[in-house]
């Protein structure tokens, strides 16, 4: 944790727009500082990261922090949405992330596929093109913040004077005073619509799997980028197959004669029917394994197995001839200790 904070401060100090950086950070401030560090570290490209650091440096320079307290509080108050919004303009805001649930068929969870999901989300306003300003309206520099988009508030406390930076309430942080905002979106730059979003389902997902679709969330306000869409999956039950992790479980019925003599049955698998050899002497509820016919393990080409439970069916009604044959087999079993000799041979 100390290393992360030191690295954060070191990189800020190396910025040409920072005149002074305070190297000491108290233990109480570590969690917030490290949260900021994790945000910066997760950026996808070095170019974007470099721009973010220039934005931070510029904001800190505007603040003209005079004490460690004001400098650190400034960083703690700076959230990721605020940082990214400055990449697209003083008032731009990255769109909010959305979370929805979606139910998919059992086979789609096994093999993957495409699913369309309906999402109510914000889209860039078609009237103002996302800037929130009525077309033709006059715009001038904000008289309250002088175009900075932020105002300084001084607060006296028993511990001294604290300086707090807030978004300018007059211009909403834009640095500009607008004669008239867009009537369609009321100055937000976005309108609400229900749209269909195509989601790629990878093979091997399960109930509870969450998928992230980048930039499929709400549109950013006043020109900012879209947020992300998170889709939590529910897998519909199948009448034939039951899944546990990467293994799939099924049942196959056979007659007691086939259980004694052995047979080959056409077993249902997710890939279609296939021959399954049932060995002679198979017991009721015995489990047979079919290698590689389970579900794929998410993110790999490796598949689990299919476990087939053999259900031996005993007839309820038998003809006279069938009864006679079974009795003969029973007599032979008692003498030799066979399939029908459950109580041992006669004494």
Per residue in 194-209, pLDDT tens?
999 999 999 999 999 9
The answer to whether position 209 is within a domain reads yes
pLDDT tens digits along 125-172: 889 888 788 999 988 888 888 877 778 777 776 666 666 777 788 877
Q: Single out the residue of 260, 58, 225 nearest to residue 130, CA to CA.
A: 225
In a shared domain, residues 112 and 146: no
In a shared domain, residues 6 and 28: yes
Domain of residue 217, CATH code: 2.60.260.20
**Torsions phi, psi of 316, nearest 5?**
-85, -45
In a shared domain, residues 143 and 224: no
pLDDT score recorded for residue 179: 85
pLDDT score recorded for residue 106: 97
In a shared domain, residues 48 and 64: yes
Whole-angstrom distance, CA of residue 21 vs CA of residue 30: 16
In a shared domain, residues 114 and 191: yes
Whole-angstrom distance, CA of residue 92 vs CA of residue 131: 8
pLDDT score recorded for residue 347: 40
Q: Which residues of the chain have pLDDT under 50?
A: 1-10, 12-41, 43-45, 47-49, 51-52, 55, 58-90, 342-347
pLDDT score recorded for residue 35: 47
In a shared domain, residues 172 and 125: no
Length of the chain: 347
pLDDT score recorded for residue 34: 47
The three-point CA angle 308-314-315 to 5° equals 135
Owning domain of residue 30: 2-78
pLDDT score recorded for residue 267: 96
């Amino acid at each position: 944790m100390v290393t992360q904070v030191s690295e954060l401060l070191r990189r800020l100090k190396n910025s040409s727009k920072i005149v002074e950086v305070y190297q000491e950070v108290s233990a109480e401030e570590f969690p917030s500082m490290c949260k900021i560090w994790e945000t910066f570290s997760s950026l996808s490209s070095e170019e974007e990261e470099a721009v973010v650091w220039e934005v931070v440096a510029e904001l800190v320079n505007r603040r003209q922090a005079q004490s460690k307290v004001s400098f650190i509080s400034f960083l703690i108050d700076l959230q990721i949405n605020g940082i990214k919004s400055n990449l697209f303009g003083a008032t731009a805001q990255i769109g909010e992330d959305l979370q929805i649930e979606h139910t998919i068929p059992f086979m789609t969870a096994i093999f993957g596929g495409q699913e369309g999901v309906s999402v109510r989300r914000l889209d860039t306003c078609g009237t103002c093109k996302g800037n929130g300003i009525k077309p033709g309206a006059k715009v001038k520099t904000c008289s309250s913040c002088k175009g900075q988009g932020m105002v300084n508030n001084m607060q006296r406390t028993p511990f001294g004077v604290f300086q707090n930076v807030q978004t300018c309430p007059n211009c909403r942080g834009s640095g500009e005073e607008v004669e008239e905002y867009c009537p369609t979106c009321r100055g937000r730059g976005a309108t609400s619509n229900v749209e269909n979003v195509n989601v790629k389902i990878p093979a091997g997902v399960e109930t509870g799997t969450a998928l992230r679709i980048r930039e499929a969330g709400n549109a950013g306000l006043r020109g900012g980028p879209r947020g992300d869409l998170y889709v939590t999956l529910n897998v519909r039950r199948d009448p034939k197959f039951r899944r546990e992790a990467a293994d799939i479980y099924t049942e196959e019925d056979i007659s007691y004669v086939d259980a004694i003599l052995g047979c080959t049955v056409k077993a249902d698998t997710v890939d279609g029917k296939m021959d399954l050899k049932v060995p002679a002497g198979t017991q009721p509820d015995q489990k047979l394994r079919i290698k590689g016919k389970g579900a794929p393990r998410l993110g790999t080409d490796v598949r689990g197995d299919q476990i087939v439970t053999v259900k031996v069916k005993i007839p309820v009604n038998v003809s006279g001839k069938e009864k006679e044959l079974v009795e003969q087999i029973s007599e032979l079993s008692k003498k030799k200790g066979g399939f029908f000799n459950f109580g041992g041979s006669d004494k």
